[in-house]
Amino acid sequence: MAEQRQNAKMGQIPILLIAGVMSPHSKGAARARLNMDRDGGKKGAPSYLAGVQVDLGNVDKYLQNSKTFYTCNIVQNTKNLEVKDVIKEMNDMLYEVDADVKKKERKSPMVGVYYSGHGCSNGGDWCFKDGDFSFKFLESVLRKRGNIKIFSDSCFSGDWAVKLKKWEYRTRNVWIFAGSVPGASALDGGDEGGMATAKWLKLFPKLFDDEANSYDDVMEAMHQSYGCCAKIDDDGEYHYIEFRDAHAEYKLQQGMKGISLANKGAESDGDDSDGDDSDADDDYKAEAVGVASSGVTCSMGHPLRFMTQAQLVAEKPGYANGVGCDRCGKSAKKVGGSAHCSRCEYDLCPQCFIELSAEENGSSYKPVEVEKTCDEGHPLYKLNLVELNEYSDYPMAYICDGCFEMSTLAKGYDHAHHCPLCRFDLCPKCVSK
């Protein structure tokens, strides 16, 4: 297999294919599925796995026939893939590609990464066994070389397309194709794979492979596609295009179907086999799949996940005026968001969540006053790597938003000053600057 992969023609772009894990660490991990119960089974892991595998298979098949791209490796360990493995695979690809050209040319060649799997509701990060692969992990690539195309068919991946804006005029030739529009879920058609990927495979030949395509052809394919695309071009300028919103379209469709089903239900005994209403409703919702094995939960034992005020309002318009912390009463609008249970509408302000979590672990949380805040003006909490892993699903490492360096225990940093709402971090050096 390895030899076959290396037979790439000169000038073709290597693509690393990555499959997400079935049961990620992240409490905010989401994958929205569509009518999964065709075979009568319960919605769950096997169908998720099938969807991701179909995606990788389809993309690999497309790449094999592509004039522009080739598959450089397929990374798939649906049970145990960890963030460090993903980082290593990316570094291996970059090392190989850059080592080849450094002697002759100065410019790094284009590379690509394709991901299909769970996306985190807090910012679209990729969810693995030990924690989330954050957009911030790509920043060293953006800073040092640019020239990368990211294809992410996962929930909330559109958030990455928005985050790329920050890199305008600081990097070049970076594309992000996202399976969802910002703040929304991507849809997985189960046995057919992700709906965005299915549409992309029709768009990409037009966009990248077939020079004979007219502008109209490309526009037509774009209009059919799902999600969005952000790009920083060769001059460093940022561009953003939005395709269709699969989630919104599905909701609309279900709304209409709901009306006709209700009418039908009045006549029949309501034993409709193509999914009852409540289940269909669950299918499109990007329900958090993580489980609360420990930690602070709502009174029903559901895991809480951090959401900004904007994310809360997007999910529940009734939260627009702010919702009080269920412990201290502080308004989510005032503090910027909450640790939230969607099912019970239970909310804790970040401070209470952190205090209760410390209590649960038999310690007490002592707030450390620092002058710095996150970009949104929220307070920063001093948390160690274990706490960052437990509360914000960091993989025992983080990227500092001040110096962009990765901090790990091996590097001598065991804590960060952290905003759990924005996933913003400062290392000990940068917080005292």
Per CB under 5 A, 289 contacts Zn ion: no
130 phi/psi in degrees, rounded to 5: -100, -5
Per CB under 5 A, 379 contacts Zn ion: no
Per CB under 5 A, 334 contacts Zn ion: no
What CA–CA distance (Å, rounded) separates 172 from 76?
Answer: 29
CB atoms inside a 10 Å sphere around CB 35: 16
* CB closer to Zn ion, 288 vs 422: 422
CB atoms inside a 10 Å sphere around CB 201: 17
Instruction: Give the 3-state secondary structure of residue 388.
Output: helix
CB of 416 to Zn ion, least distance (A): 9
Per CB under 5 A, 302 contacts Zn ion: yes
Per CB under 5 A, 32 contacts Zn ion: no
| Strand-strand pairing, 148-153 and 13-19 | unpaired
What CA–CA distance (Å, rounded) separates 189 from 395?
Answer: 29
CB of 163 to Zn ion, least distance (A): 14
What CA–CA distance (Å, rounded) separates 222 from 196?
Answer: 11
* CB closer to Zn ion, 181 vs 296: 296
DSSP-assigned beta bridge partners for residue 399: 406
Contacts of 91 (CB under 8 A, 6+ apart): none
- Among the listed ranges 198-206, 316-324, 355-363, 416-424, the one in contact with Zn ion (CB under 5 A) is 416-424
* CB closer to Zn ion, 182 vs 336: 336
* CB closer to Zn ion, 149 vs 305: 305
* CB closer to Zn ion, 64 vs 432: 432
- Among the listed ranges 206-214, 240-248, 323-331, 389-397, the one in contact with Zn ion (CB under 5 A) is 323-331
**379 close to 419: Cβ distance less than 8 angstroms:** yes
DSSP-assigned beta bridge partners for residue 346: 341
Per CB under 5 A, 295 contacts Zn ion: no
- Among the listed ranges 40-48, 201-209, 266-274, 297-305, the one in contact with Zn ion (CB under 5 A) is 297-305
Per CB under 5 A, 388 contacts Zn ion: no
- Residue found under tokens 């599905």: 250
Per CB under 5 A, 203 contacts Zn ion: no
Per CB under 5 A, 59 contacts Zn ion: no
**Among 75, 80, 83, 92, which Cα is nearest to 22's?**
80
Per CB under 5 A, 399 contacts Zn ion: no
Largest CA-CA distance found in the chain, in angstroms, rounded: 76
CB of 302 to Zn ion, least distance (A): 3
* CB closer to Zn ion, 228 vs 352: 352
CB atoms inside a 10 Å sphere around CB 105: 9
Per CB under 5 A, 307 contacts Zn ion: no
**170 close to 142: Cβ distance less than 8 angstroms:** yes
DSSP 331: B
CB of 32 to Zn ion, least distance (A): 19
What CA–CA distance (Å, rounded) separates 248 from 286?
Answer: 12
User: What residues between 221 and 250 interact with Zn ion by CB under 5 A?
Assistant: none
Per CB under 5 A, 343 contacts Zn ion: yes
Per CB under 5 A, 419 contacts Zn ion: yes
Near Zn ion by CB under 5 A: residue from 376, 384, 386, 396: 376
Cα distances (angstroms) measured from residue 57 to each of 49, 188, 365:
12, 15, 48
Per CB under 5 A, 383 contacts Zn ion: no
**Among 221, 220, 242, which Cα is nearest to 231's?**
242
User: What residues between 344 and 373 interact with Zn ion by CB under 5 A?
Assistant: 344, 349, 352
Q: Give the end-to-end CA distance of the chain in Å, rounded to a whole number.
A: 50
Per CB under 5 A, 298 contacts Zn ion: yes
Near Zn ion by CB under 5 A: residue from 2, 10, 300, 410: 300
CB of 29 to Zn ion, least distance (A): 17
Q: Applying CB under 5 A, what is the total number of residues that bind Zn ion? A: 23
What beta strand segments (E) does 277-345 contain?
305-308, 337-341
* CB closer to Zn ion, 310 vs 344: 344
Near Zn ion by CB under 5 A: residue from 206, 285, 327, 372: 327
Per CB under 5 A, 339 contacts Zn ion: no
CB of 9 to Zn ion, least distance (A): 42
For the residues of 261-283, what is the DSSP string, one character each?
HHHHHHHS-S--SS--HHHHHHH
**43 close to 282: Cβ distance less than 8 angstroms:** yes
Per CB under 5 A, 412 contacts Zn ion: no
Per CB under 5 A, 402 contacts Zn ion: yes
Per CB under 5 A, 287 contacts Zn ion: no
Sites of contact with Zn ion (CB under 5 A)? 298, 300, 302, 325, 327-328, 330, 341, 343-344, 349, 352, 374, 376, 378, 400, 402-403, 419, 421-422, 427, 430
